[in-house]
Structure 1
Amino acid sequence: MKLRNRVILITGGSRGLGKSMALGCAAEGGEVIITGRSSVQPEWVYQYEQVSYYQQDVGCLESTKKVLERVFNQYAQIDVLVNNAGINRDHLFKDMSLDDWNEVINTNLTGPFICSKAVLPYFIDQGYGKIINISSAAATRVNIGQANYCTAKAGVEMLTKVLAIELPRIGNITVNCIQPGVFEEGMGEELMSREKVWDKYKPRFASGRPGYGNELASSLVFLASDESNYINGHVLEVNGGLMWV
C-alpha cells in the first residue's frame, strides 16, 4: 500500500487516463480526489470509497482555490497534485482559430500553473508536497494539426523543470512529469478509431502496441510514493518505445 495516508488530487480524473490513474492510486491505499468541469459526479465513483469527485475549472484561480479548501477541510492535508486535465482542438494552423488556441493553452498549460500556484501554500505549511504534471509525447514529437496542443505540452515540461529548481528551496517539494505516448484510454482511443491514421501511426511503436491505463497508473504511483523522493525535475516517458519519426 504505497500511498496509504496520502491525499492525491487528480485534475481531469473522471475518465480516460485520469480515471486509470485515480484507480491505481486508490488501489495503493491513497485517498483520491478527482476533478472535472461537470457538476455531475461520474457513476463509477460511487463504487469506490476512496475516490471523491469535485467540480473544478482548472483555468480559473477562484474555482481551484475553492476545491483545495474543500480538500484540506475534509482531509487536513494535500500530499500530491496531479495536473492531468487536458483538451485538444485539432486543426491545421491555417484553419486554427484564436479560440482553438486559447482554450487549449488555458486548460493544458495555464491550468497546471494555476493549480500548482494554488496548492503551494498548503505544501509550504505542511513542509511537504509533490507535483506531478502529465505531459504528452506531443511535447517532443511534432503532430500535424496540433500547434496549440504540442506547444502547451512542451510548456508543461519546461514548467516542470523550472518549478523543480525553485520549489525545493522553499520546502520539501518535488516536481516531476510523466510523458505518455498513445494509450487505449483517453485521447488515444480517438486516434485508434481513425483507422487510416492509426495504420500509419502504429509502426512508430517499438512495442508494437499502445499502452494500457494501468501501465500509466503504476508510473504515477511510483512518483507519488516515497520511493521517488530523490527524483526531481524528471520527465518520465511512458510510451512503449515510441519512435521520434
Structure 2
Amino acid sequence: MSNITTCIKTLGRGICIITGASKGFGHTLAQQVCSLLESGSVLLLVARTGTLLQKLTEELQSSTSAQQLVVRCIEADLSTEEGVKETVRAAKQEDVKDVDHVLLINNAASLPSISHFSSFINPDEVNSYLFFNVTSALTLTAGILQAFPPRPGLRWTVVNISSAFALQALPSWVLYCTGKAAREMMFRVLAAEEPNVKVLSYSPGPMDTEMQEEICRLTGACYDLLPCQEPGAKLMKLLLDNNFISGSHIDFFDA
C-alpha cells in the first residue's frame, strides 16, 4: 500500500480581527476560524456588548481548536469614533512579530430605517447610518493597515461582509443599498491601491439571524434562511483556497 500524504490547509499563524463578533454571523465566523489558525495565533473579537463577547470567549476557550490561540475581547461601539480608535489601540498592543497573516473581517453593520427615498429628510439620521456602516469600516481598516504594515512574508487579507443589494437596488432600502454599495467600492479601491492586500467582498445570503427576524417583522418579507454555518464554511474555503481576484464580489450562491 502506498503512503498517502494529506495536505492540511490553514490560515497560518496570524492575527484575526472580527467585528460584530458577539452574535449572528460574526459569532459563527469566530467559531469556524479557530480551527484554521495555527498555534500562537491571536483572535480579536470586537463588539459593543461585553457580556456576549465574554460568553463567546468562554465557548471558544472550551473547544480544543481554540486552546492554542490567544483570544481577546474588545468591547467597542464602532458606531462611534472612540470605538474605532479603541479597537485600533487594542490591536496595536498585541505582540505579532511572528505572525504571517493579518486577517480583518469587517462584519459589523446595522439595520437602517426601511422607508421610501423621499422620507429621508433628516441629515443626522443618514449621516449616523453611513458613519457606522461606511466611515467606521474605512477608518478601522486604515488603522489596522497602519498598525501592521505589509512586509515580506506577511499575508494580508481584508473581508467585507457585503450583500447582493450592494449591486442591486431594492425599493425602500435606500440607506442599506447605499451603504453596501459604498463599502463595495471602498474596498475595490483598497484592492487597486494595495497589491499586497487581498480583498474580498462576500455576500453570505439571507441568514437565520436577529436582523432577519427584525426585517420579517418590519416588512413582512420572510425568506428561506440559511444557517450561519453554511455561508461561514464557504467563506472559510474561499480564504483557504485564496484564488479569488482581489477586490471581487462573491455571492454565497455563486461560490
Bigger mean CA deviation after superposition, 146-155 or 131-140: 131-140
Query: In the alignment, which residue of structure 2 is the partner of 1:91?
Result: 114
1:236 aligns with 2:250: yes
Counterpart of 1:81 in 2: which secondary structure?
strand
* Structure 1: distance between partners of 2:188 and 2:83: 26
When the two chains are superposed, the root-mean-square deviation of aligned CA atoms in Å is 2.6
| Aligned 8 A contact 2:79 2:136 in 1 | yes
In the alignment, structure 1 segments of 5+ residues that lack a partner are: 203-208
Identity of aligned residues (%): 24
| Aligned 8 A contact 1:139 1:150 in 2 | yes
1:12 aligns with 2:24: no
- Structure number having the greater helix percentage: 1
TM-score, normalisation: structure 1: 0.80
What CA deviation, in whole Å up to 9, does each residue of 1:201-238 have, x standing for no partner? Answer: x4xxxxxx42221122123323443x216631111111
| Aligned 8 A contact 1:36 1:55 in 2 | yes
Query: In the alignment, which residue of structure 2 is the partner of 1:46?
Result: 58
* Structure 2: distance between partners of 1:186 and 1:33: 23
Offset at residue 132 of structure 1 (A): 0.7
1:167 aligns with 2:181: no
* Structure 2: distance between partners of 1:121 and 1:189: 37
| Aligned 8 A contact 1:177 1:233 in 2 | yes
Q: What residue identity is the alignment partner of 1:85? A: A
> Aligned to 2:166, which of 108, 118, 139?
139
Offset at residue 21 of structure 1 (A): 1.2
Q: What residue identity is the alignment partner of 2:16? A: I
TM-score, normalisation: structure 2: 0.77
| Aligned 8 A contact 2:105 2:158 in 1 | yes
Offset at residue 195 of structure 1 (A): 8.5
Question: Could you say if the C-alpha distance between residues 230 and 192 of structure 1 is closer, same or farther in structure 2, counting changes exceeding 3 Å?
Answer: closer
Query: In the alignment, which residue of structure 2 is the partner of 1:206?
Result: none
Offset at residue 4 of structure 1 (A): 4.4
* Structure 1: distance between partners of 2:151 and 2:52: 29
Q: How does 1:96-135 map to 2 (within 5 A)?
A: 96=120, 97-127=122-152, 128=154, 129-135=156-162
Counterpart of 1:74 in 2: which secondary structure?
coil
What CA deviation, in whole Å up to 9, does each residue of 1:130-188 have, x standing for no partner? Answer: 111111122123333221111000111111211111011xxx21111102221112422
What CA deviation, in whole Å up to 9, does each residue of 1:88-143 have, x standing for no partner? Answer: 12231333343331222111111211111101123425443111111112212333
* Structure 2: distance between partners of 1:53 and 1:224: 23
In the alignment, structure 2 segments of 5+ residues that lack a partner are: 1-8
Aligned residue pair count? 227
Counterpart of 1:91 in 2: which secondary structure?
coil
